[in-house]
Amino acid sequence: MGKYSKQVINELVEGTLEWYQIKEMMSSYKDAERFELYREVMQSRVDWDDPILLPLGLHLYIVQKENGKRMVKCDCGHEFCDYKENWKLHANVFVRDSEEKMNEVYPKLMSPDPEWQVIREYYCPECASQLEVEAVTPWYPVIHDFEPDIDAFYNDWVKVPLPKVK
């Protein structure tokens, strides 16, 4: 399998690989066959049929809809929004902004000072999976971190046809 073994692809799909590694891997995906395999593995792990275009995190995907739209979708089937919008604004958010709330996840004394840093946790409104955690200063805007150029990725990079709605 060359540079990325089946184990790596499995870890990737299991969500045990860090997101920065995923991005790095995606950008080195010049092997169309390997990418197709990866896409198939992802697709086989969800119960719905919308073709997955790209993963967007541990539980989220960008999928192709019949109407031509590309939506952010959770593995449980919940659809958030168009992929160009910030899905976090459509998620349930829990903000740890007090010592008490910090101490639920951090040991005492190791937790950040809530005056300087808060923890934002984003959850799927349907299945309650934790989708992302952000540690930011309290006034920091909600981060919109990744807006991939899907067409360029398929057409110019891996050079495989975009998956079509069946």
Report 22-61 residues binding Zn ion (CB under 5 A): none
Burial classification of residue 43, based on how many CB atoms lie within 10 Å of its CB (0-12 exposed, 13-18 middle, 19 or more buried): middle
HSE-CB for 85 with a 13 A CA cutoff: 14
Choices 20-28, 72-80, 82-90, 106-114 (CB under 5 A): range interacting with Zn ion? 72-80
Supply the minimum distance, in Å, between the C-beta of residue 122 and Zn ion. 11
State in angstroms the smallest separation of the CB of 121 from Zn ion.
14
Which residue lies nearer to Zn ion by CB, 103 or 130? Answer: 130
Distance (Å, whole) CA 43 – CA 49: 8
Task: Return the SS3 of 102.
Answer: helix
Total of residues contacting Zn ion (CB under 5 A): 6
Radius of gyration over every alpha carbon of the chain, rounded to an integer in angstroms = 18
| Contact code string over 122-161 relative to Zn ion, x by CB under 5 A | --x-xx----------------------------------
Region 73-102 residues binding Zn ion, contact defined as CB under 5 A: 74, 76, 78
Rounded CA separation 59/65 (Å): 18
Taking contact as CB under 5 A, which single stretch among the options 34-42, 87-95, 116-124, 135-143 is the one that binds Zn ion? 116-124
CB 44, min distance to Zn ion, A: 18
Q: Which is nearer to Zn ion, 25 or 60 (CB)?
A: 60
Cβ pair 124, 59 in contact under 8 A: yes
87 close to 60: Cβ distance less than 8 angstroms: yes
Chain residues in the site for Zn ion (CB under 5 A):
74, 76, 78, 124, 126-127
